[in-house]
Amino acid sequence: MSQCNVERVIGRLVTDDGFRRRFAQDPTATLRELVERGIELNPCEERALAALDIRRLARFARTLDPRIQKVEPGGRQ
């Protein structure tokens, strides 16, 4: 179950512009918010996700077809 949630978080990071911006500002708080909403992540997974390179995530996000992106007003990161 937990691996599925890791994949969900990574997927959201690359498809949801606003979520990615919040994560860039405070990865730990953003992940805690998800856990409080019921996304199951163990402490090791939280640390690994928090350590992801936001620049690489954003670079990958820019390569995705816009039809699968959730872009908020204010543009992309």
pLDDT in tens, 28-42: 999 999 999 999 999
Distance, CA of 59 to CA of 34 (rounded, Å) = 23
Which of the two residues, 24 and 72, has the higher pLDDT score? Answer: 24
pTM for the model:
0.85
- Average pLDDT for 59-71: 89
Q: List CB contacts of 54: < 8 A, sequence separation 6 or more.
A: 20, 23, 24, 27, 77
Question: Rounded CA gap, 51 and 28, in Å?
Answer: 9
Region 4-26: what's the mean pLDDT? 96
Query: DSSP code of 64?
Result: S
Whether the pLDDT of residue 69 is over 90: the answer is: no
Scanning the structure block, which residue is given the tokens 């007003």? 73
